[in-house]
């Protein structure tokens, strides 16, 4: 039977085994999906060994998403652009194909959660410039967002993303981050602020437009203070769990031969 795994360090917190296990049961497919705790020194050898053990692919999570590009034989354009991979396909000839579905997952989640969301309606505003922001920027640019305002506590990282991803990006100082919201019709928290155990999101959302679609990559808790404030302003909000669920779709389809659905049942299965 085909096997796949999620590989990270640490790995016990990953929801992917629940997600893929749910899909395998739901569609009555023969397959297995497990979590593998692999440290960076063992990553390359593990990836070489897995195909011989019946593995058809893997998801890659923190902290290996960037490093894994070095161990792949083919890297998709999207993974190259984002500079990281989260989905591997082991080819029949033993080669490793690396792709990134995080930007896809982000966009698919917004489209499902806010069906009338129009990426072209106005600028996007992103808080945060870490790894998650890279995939989100690529996803938004693909979707046709005309302009992206980007603000990060460490401004240098936002400037770096502008240098890499181009003129569509306008960097805003973290102390003035709230001002990005005046025209934004798509608003994203890509920082870890608001996560259980982390600091709160404190930037004022005073300037938020009620017609903006607002989403958070934090999904623990599901209803973050950021989303609650946006909802109080009348905005449509989309929680971050769906991004995780949707990013798993392309890998599952490739490994197990069935394009899985993301719906309430899927959400319940991982929570």
Q: Which residues here bind ligand ATR, judged by CB under 6 A?
A: 128-133, 152-154, 157, 190-193, 199
Whole-number Å distance between alpha carbons of 188 and 186 = 7
Nearest CB to ligand ATR, comparing residues 24 and 43: 43
Instruction: Please name the helix (run of DSSP H) or strand (run of DSSP E) that holds residue 216, with its range, or none.
Output: strand 213-216
Q: Report the residue number whose CB is nearest to ligand ATR.
A: 130
CB 73 → ligand ATR: shortest distance, Å?
Answer: 25
Give catalytic status of residue 65 as yes or no: yes
Instruction: Please name the helix (run of DSSP H) or strand (run of DSSP E) that holds residue 96, with its range, or none.
Output: strand 96-99
Sign for the CA dihedral angle at 132, 138, 144, 146 comes to positive
Nearest CB to ligand ATR, comparing residues 115 and 197: 197
Nearest CB to ligand ATR, comparing residues 128 and 250: 128
Catalytic one among 18, 40, 65, 202?
65
* Residue 7: closest CA among 76, 109, 98, 95: 98
CB 240 → ligand ATR: shortest distance, Å?
Answer: 11
| Edge-to-edge order in the sheet of strand 236-238 | 169-173, 148-152, 124-127, 186-189, 213-216, 236-238
Q: Is the bond preceding residue 221 a cis peptide, omega within 30 degrees?
A: yes
Nearest CB to ligand ATR, comparing residues 195 and 262: 195
Show which residues are catalytic.
65
């Amino acid at each position: 039977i085909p096997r796949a795994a999620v590989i990270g360090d640490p790995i016990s917190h990953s929801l992917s085994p629940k997600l893929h296990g749910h899909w395998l049961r739901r569609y009555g497919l023969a397959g297995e999906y497990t979590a593998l705790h692999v440290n960076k020194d063992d990553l390359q050898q593990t990836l070489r060994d897995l195909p011989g053990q019946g593995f058809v692919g893997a998801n890659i999570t923190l902290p290996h998403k960037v490093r894994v590009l070095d161990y792949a034989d083919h890297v998709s354009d999207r993974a190259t652009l984002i500079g990281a991979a989260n989905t591997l396909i082991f080819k029949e000839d033993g080669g490793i194909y690396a792709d990134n579905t995080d930007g896809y997952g982000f966009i698919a989640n917004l489209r499902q959660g806010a069906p009338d969301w129009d990426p072209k309606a106005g600028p996007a505003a992103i808080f945060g410039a870490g790894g998650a922001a890279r995939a989100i920027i690529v996803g938004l640019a693909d979707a046709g967002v005309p302009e992206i305002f980007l603000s990060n506590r460490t401004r240098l990282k936002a400037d770096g993303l502008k240098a890499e991803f181009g003129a569509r990006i306008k960097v805003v100082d973290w102390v003035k981050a709230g001002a990005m919201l005046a025209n934004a019709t798509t608003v994203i928290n890509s920082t870890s602020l608001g996560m259980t155990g982390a600091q709160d999101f404190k930037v004022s959302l005073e300037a938020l437009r009620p017609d903006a679609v607002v989403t958070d990559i934090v999904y623990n808790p599901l209803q973050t203070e950021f989303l609650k404030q946006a909802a109080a302003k009348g905005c449509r909000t989309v929680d971050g769990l769906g991004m995780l669920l949707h990013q798993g779709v392309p890998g599952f389809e490739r490994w197990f031969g069935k394009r899985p659905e993301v719906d309430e049942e899927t959400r319940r299965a991982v929570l």
